[in-house]
Amino acid sequence: MSETVPLDKERGSTAASVPAMLELRDLRVFYGAIEALKGIDLTVGEGEVVALLGANGAGKTTTLRTISGMLQPRHGEIMLRGERIDGIKSHHLVEFGIGHVPEGRRVFATMTVLENLEMGAYRFASVDQADLDRVFTLFPRLAERRGQLGGTLSGGEQQMLAIGRALMARPELLLLDEPSMGLAPLVVQQIFEIIKEINEQGTTVLLVEQNAAQALSLANRGYVLETGSVAMTGDAQGLLTDPRVRAAYLGEGAA
Q: In whole angstroms, give the CA distance from residue 80 to residue 103.
A: 23
Strand partners, 102: none
Specify the pTM. 0.88
Can you list the domains of the chain with their CATH numbers? 19-97+177-254 (3.40.50.300), 99-170 (no CATH)
Average of per-residue pLDDT across 189-197:
95
What residue type is assigned to position 214 of the chain? Answer: Q
Average of per-residue pLDDT across 2-29:
65
- Closest of 121, 205, 107 to residue 151, by C-alpha: 107
Question: What whole-number percentage of the chain has pLDDT above 70?
Answer: 91
Average of per-residue pLDDT across 55-61:
92
Q: In whole angstroms, give the CA distance from residue 50 to residue 218.
A: 9
